[in-house]
C-alpha cells in the first residue's frame, strides 16, 4: 500500500467536498477539518473552481492530504495535480485514467461495484478501490460478498455513509476508510459553521477508532 493510501487508512474517513465559493470557504474549511483530526479531503470536480479549492486548501494547510474527486478526464487529472492534488478519485473504473495516473506515480481510487470492475482493477494492479455508490449498490453485504473472490483489495465505500452506519462499515476488515459528505454538507459550509464541521470530524474519528478496536 502506498503512503497516501496508508494515511487515508490511518484517518479512516475522507470528507467529500463540493465548494461553490472556494475563495471564501476553502481555507476555513481546511482548518476546521484539521482541528477535528481529519487531515484528508477529496474535493469534487462536480463544482467549478475545484482546482482553486485544492490549491487554497494545500496552501493554507500544507500538512493536509488533498485529492480530487469525480475526475472524468485526463485533462482534469492534470488540472488537479497542478493545483496540488495528491490523489485522484473517479466515480467509475476508466482504465485510461487509471493508467494515466499510474504513469505519473499518482494514487488513483476508481469507483467499482461489480465483479467485472474488480477483475479489471486486479489486472490494472490496483490495491484500493472506491465502492460507489455504496448504499445504493448493496452496501456492506455486497462488499463482504465481493471480498470472497477478490480478497486482495481494500475498499473505500462512499455514498450513503453517515454517523449512523460508519461504525458498521469500519468494523469490516476489508474497509480501509469511508468517504462521505455528511461532515461537510452544503448547509454547514454555506453557513460558515466551522465548529460543527470540526465536531462531526471528531465524532467520526472516535467512531473509527472504536470500530477498529472492537472489530
Active site residues: 42, 130
DSSP 8-state secondary structure symbol assigned to residue 43: E
Residue with cell 452544503: 186
Residue 148 CB coordination number (10 Å): 7
Cβ–Cβ under 8 Å, residues 29 and 195: no
Cα 118 to Cα 192: distance, rounded to the nearest angstrom:
39
SS3 129: strand
Residue with cell 497516501: 4
Q: Which three cell numbers stand for residue 120?
A: 479489471
Smallest CA-to-CA distance from 188 within 56, 32, 55, 14 is with 32
Q: How far is CA 104 from the centre of its chain?
A: 20
Burial class for 96, CB neighbours closer than 10 Å (0-12, 13-18, 19+): exposed
Amino acid at each position: 500500500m502506498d503512503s497516501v493510501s496508508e494515511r487515508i487508512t490511518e484517518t479512516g474517513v475522507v470528507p467529500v467536498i463540493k465548494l461553490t465559493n472556494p475563495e471564501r470557504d476553502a481555507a476555513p474549511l481546511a482548518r476546521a477539518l484539521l482541528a477535528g483530526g481529519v487531515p484528508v479531503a477529496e474535493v469534487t470536480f462536480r463544482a467549478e473552481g475545484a482546482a482553486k479549492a485544492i490549491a487554497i486548501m494545500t496552501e493554507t494547510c500544507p500538512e493536509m492530504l488533498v485529492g480530487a474527486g469525480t475526475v472524468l478526464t485526463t485533462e482534469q487529472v492534470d488540472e488537479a495535480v497542478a493545483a496540488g492534488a495528491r490523489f485522484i478519485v473517479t466515480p467509475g473504473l476508466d482504465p485510461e485514467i487509471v493508467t494515466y495516473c499510474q504513469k505519473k506515480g499518482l494514487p488513483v481510487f476508481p469507483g467499482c461495484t461489480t465483479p467485472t470492475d474488480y477483475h479489471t482493477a486486479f489486472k490494472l494492479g490496483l490495491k484500493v478501490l472506491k465502492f460507489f455508490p455504496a448504499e445504493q449498490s448493496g452496501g456492506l453485504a455486497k462488499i463482504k460478498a465481493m471480498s470472497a473472490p477478490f480478497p486482495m483489495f481494500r475498499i473505500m465505500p462512499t455514498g450513503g455513509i453517515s454517523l449512523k452506519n460508519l461504525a458498521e462499515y469500519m468494523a469490516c476488515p476489508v474497509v480501509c476508510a469511508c468517504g462521505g459528505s455528511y461532515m461537510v454538507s452544503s448547509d454547514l459550509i454555506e453557513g460558515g459553521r466551522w465548529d460543527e464541521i470540526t465536531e462531526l470530524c471528531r465524532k467520526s474519528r472516535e467512531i473509527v477508532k472504536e470500530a477498529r478496536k472492537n472489530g
